[in-house]
Structures are given as C-alpha cells and as structure tokens.
Chain A
Amino acid sequence: MDAASSLAFGFSVAFTPFNLSLALAGAALGTAIGALPGIGPINAIVLLLPLCFSLKLPPESALILLAGIYYGSGYGGRISSILLNIPGDPGLVMTTLDGYPLARQGRGAAALALSGIGSFVGGTLTVLLLTFLAVPIARLAVAFGPAEYVSLMVLAFALLSTMGQGRTAKTWAAICLGLLGAMIGIDGGSGVERFTFGSLEMLGGIDFTTLTIGLFAVSEILVVAEGMRSGAVTNLGSGERLKLSELVSCLPAMFRATGIGFFLGVLPGTGAAVASALAYTAEKRVSNRNNTFGKGDMRGLAAPETADNAAQTASMVPMLALGIPGSGTTAVMLGALLMYSITPGPLLFTQRPEIAWGLIASMYIGNVMLLVLNLPLVGLFARLLLVPNWILFPGVLGLSFAGVYAATNSMFELLLTTGIGIAAYAMRKMGIPLIPMLIAFVLARLLEDNIRRALSISDGDLMALFSSPVAILFWLLAALTLLVPVLAPRFGRRIRAVSDSEGG
C-alpha cells in the first residue's frame, strides 16, 4: 500500500461516528487540560487509561482519544501563556514573550486566534510529513535486529542527556533510576526476583500508572503548593480582531517554525521546549528589523506556537515507526499500547494498519476540529483559568489517587504514588529531569531483552552488539552526541541555555 491509499484506509477507520466523537472529546478535553495548570497531557492520558479499558475501547479508538488529548493540549496551553503570562508547559515559555504584550495591548483575542492558526499549521503540516515519512522509516527499521535496537536506544539516551534539560550527569542518573525502577519484580528470563526485598507487593513491579502519577501529578502539586503561582487574567480585549494581512505576514514564520519543530521533534530528548525556543530565536534573527520582538510582534508569537505543535506531532514519528518514544507524553502512549499488548514499531504499519493509519488520519481530523473549536470558543476555555487554585489542585490530587486506585486496586500502590511524588519533588528541586526517567522506565524491558537476545545468539560474545554496519553507525552517533559538549562547548551551552526553561 502506498501512503495515499493507506491514508484513505485510515480515514475509513477514523470517520466512523464513534471514533469521530472520541477525537472530538479528546480534542476538547485536551484543550481544557492544556489550559489548566497542574494536570498536563501526561497525567491526563494515564488517568484515562483505566477508563479506556473499562469501556472496552478497541486499541485504535483508545489511541485516537489519547492522541486527541495530546495534540489538543498544545492548543490549550497558549491560553494561560497569553492571558496570564504563565506558561503551563515548558514548551510555552516563548509564547509568553510576545503573546502577553499583545494581550496587554488589548489584542488578546487576535493573539489567541493567531496562535490557534499557528498551532493548526504546525500540527497539520507535520501530520502530512508524518504520513509520507513514517512508512519509509519503518521499512528501514524492519530489518533491525537486537543489536540495532540496543544501539538505537543508547543513541536515544545519549541525545536525551546532551540535548535535553539539566546537566548530563543528572540526566544519566535519571535514566539509570528509570531503568533500575523498571527492573523491580520478577525477571522474565530466569524467574529470579530483583530488587523486591522480599516484599510481595513488589513482585509485579512498579505499576506504570503509579510511577507516572507520582512523578508528574503529585510532584507538580507539591511544587505549586510551595511556590503558589498566581496571576490576574488579562481581559480578552475589545481591541482589533486579527486582520488577514497580519495573518499573511506571519505565514513565512509559521512555515519556518514547522521545519524547525519537525526536525527537533523527531529527535528524542529535544522536544517542544527546545523547538519553540529555537524557532523564536531564528525568527527574531530573520525578521526583527524594527526591534519589535518582545513587545508584541505577531511573528514572535506565531513562530514558537507553530514549532511547539509541530514538535509535539513529530515526536509521534519515532514512537510509531521505531517504537522508541522521545518525549514524556509519547512514552505514556507507548505504555498505553503495551498495556493493549501491542508493540509499536516497524511492523505496526503492516500488521495493525487500522491502529497506525487510523491514528494518523484522526490527527488530520482532530487538528481541523481543534481549529474550529478554538477560534470561536476560546473565551470559554479561557474561563477555565478562573477556577480557583483551592478547588483545582485538590481536585487534581483526588482524581489522581482515585485513578491510581481504579487502575491497581491496591493501597500499597497509593502509598508508593505518594512516595514517588515526594521523591520526584526533591529531584525537581535538585535539577534532576524526570522525563528521561519515565522514558527509560518504559524502554527498560525492551533494552534488556534485546541485549540478552543479541548476546544469546552470539553465546555471550560482546562483539555481537557491534556486528552490523547500522549498529556501528548508531554507536558512533551516540559517541559523537556524548562528545559534543567536550568538542564544542559553546554549542552545548547554547542548547542548554535554550532548554533551561524546562525547569524540572
């Protein structure tokens, strides 16, 4: 099947009334979640997983719903950045730079409309690229054996550690903690208990829901409780609406930002935050002739918003085609697929085309829905910002615990969630990044299985990991990535400065 006919098949899956309504529900919920502080797409997806199971959703429908939340949140996040000057997500820091000044000038409505259109352009163009690139990448990867997978995962970790936020040593520590955490429980190959310390509850290992909610929901609430961010909602503004000429003047910025966002989104570890920062910096260099950037320049708003959504969508490429997630949210979606006993990767496109292509088709539909939802209804979503903190955060905490209980039916897992949450809070204070830990946790099993498979073919000879040209290429790239900060310190510092905004 070529891409066009596969896509047509995908649309036949996505266009059933049931899947359409799920895409709409996901998109609307995602916008709301993106607008609200404290939840975020990672937690929302994990909390909805037990719901997908109890409703007995088929995997393609579940994925359509969850993906809708993912890219929907990219639309919602801009609302608080523009109106409150509070970025709800690290990828949105750059949106505040020109978005908030625009809102202060009374052009909040125009800024929201423009950023909505930017999100649409970035999202849709990237899905288009995804449509034509996913299969060729997957086809290359079909021939990958265990050695190639091991080296590819090491390359992903290397990219995370040098390109991502935080110090390299701290990222490696986070990766190791994620890998060790995933080893808790019974080892499949030998039946030996590892790191259980005789505890019966630990035999099954740490539940994916427990880890994610602890890492991201509980720790976030603790961080907010400590610092208590707040701000006054700037009025939507009665100022001029977005003019067509303004939109047209922003289109080149949007196209450039899509390119940057796509490229960085496909790489693991960089993600939306770096993409939007880089797009903003690049756009400033290209178009800042009258020194208007930072004072409410439309192009300075369009570029990061577009890049943010492009990168978000592009990070689906390695997850779908290789089975290796590069961002926190795609790691959670991979976890969701694994719970359905579906292994994403090169064979997904041929063996389960309804999942792969149904999802891709639904992303076209979802982006159109989001544009339609967001242009007229943005005032409604902005109203969500008025929910007081003392209702919002207790609600998120209560729902998180209820969700963990619903998924695991165990008191012990709830205690573990709290424990992980407190530990994650401490780690954030110490500048240990959490997302590499989650990615490592999800990939650990795959990594260890592949190492052991490769070495059992060669009967323990380590050279088996370096046996094919592709594997050697990945190892060399990984080594090169690790050496970047040593060989070109300025480049490394630059990237770090850009991604510093990611905080914890």
Chain B
Amino acid sequence: MKAGLLGDRITGSLFLLIGIGAIWHAWSLDVPFAADPVGPKAFPMVVGALLAIAGASILLRPDEIAWEVGDYGRVAVVAGASFFYPLALEFIGFVLATALLCFACGKAFRGPTIGTAIASVALSVTFLLLIDVMLGLPLPRGPLGI
C-alpha cells in the first residue's frame, strides 16, 4: 500500500508549491494605485499561505488512498479526444469535430463500431440544430458549412 501514501505525498507537495507560488506571485505584484488600504496583494497571500499549510499537512501526514485499478487506456482515449477537439473544431467545423469526439468516446465505452458511428453523427447534428439553428448561439462552421 505504499502507492497510496505516495499519492498523498505528491498531492501535498504540489499544493505546498502552488501555495508558495501564489504568495510569491502576489508579493511581486506591482501595484501603482489601489483604492483601499489593503490592495490586491493581501488576500492571495493569505489564501496561498493557507494552501501551503494544508499541503504541508497532507505531505507530512499522508493517508493511504484506496486505489482502485481501472482501465486507464479508456481514460486516455477520452482525455486525448477532449484535448484535440478544440484544436480541430475551427478547421473541420462543429459537426465533424463533434462526431469524431463522440465516436472516440463511444468506442472507449465499448460501443459497436457501426452503431457508434451512426450515434455520433446523429448526436452532433442534433446539437447543431438545437444550439445553433434553434437557439441562435453560433457554433463554429468548417469549410463544409456545418
């Protein structure tokens, strides 16, 4: 169960670093003018200090975490698809990009290939009709106009 303790140690040190970073960032702010005697520095410094203390407490007294081993391949597929989706959106348009995202995600959820493909296209077309056409909130259109 050492992996469990390691998790808390990493989390704790990360929070400690973010806390110290926040204090340092707030300290180094250049404030030419502030309307009140406190200014914009104090609050982030207090919060950063609190975060650093919480982080240190997690680091020094780590708890064991019940770690359930899951399928990280599927997580990676969904996370990867979500990451590339915004990058693709402007080039290939909403419908195509969303269909690809849904297809990747659907396959990760063990959908049958043809069924997932049909569902993905149906979902993305529905979203376009619903949000863009019916509600008038523009979604990005690709070279095909969809």
Contact = CB atoms under 8 A, between A and B. Distances in A.
Contacts of B85: 401, 414, 418
Interface residues of B, number: 78
Contacts of A179: 43, 47
B43 A183 contact: yes
Interface in A426-456: 429-432, 447-448, 451-453, 455-456
B136 interface: yes
Contact of B137 (A50, A398, A417): A50
Contacts of A456: 35-38
Contacts of B51: 172-173, 176-177, 180
A163 interface: no
The main secondary structure of chain B at its interface with chain A is helix
A433 B72 CA distance: 21
Interface in B63-104: 63, 65, 67-68, 70-72, 74-75, 77-79, 82-83, 85-87, 89-90, 94, 98, 101-103
Contacts of B120: 394
A97 B105 CA distance: 32
A295 interface: no
A406 interface: yes
B137 A406 contact: yes
B105 A397 contact: yes
Given A169-B54, A169-B57, A402-B127, A180 B39 contact: no
A190 B39 contact: yes
Given A192-B30, A221-B105, A225-B71, A390 B111 contact: yes
A126 to B, nearest CB: 33
A143 interface: no
B20 interface: no
Given A225-B109, A226-B70, A431 B65 contact: yes
24 contacts: A50-B135, A51-B135, A54-B135, A167-B63, A169-B58, A170-B54, A189-B35, A190-B33, A218-B82, A222-B79, A225-B71, A390-B111, A391-B119, A393-B105, A394-B123, A401-B86, A402-B131, A411-B86, A417-B82, A418-B79, A418-B83, A418-B86, A429-B7, A432-B11
Interface of B: 7-8, 11, 15, 18-19, 22, 25-26, 29-31, 33-40, 42-44, 47-48, 50-51, 53-55, 57-58, 63, 65, 67-68, 70-72, 74-75, 77-79, 82-83, 85-87, 89-90, 94, 98, 101-103, 105-112, 115-116, 119-120, 123-124, 127, 131, 135-140
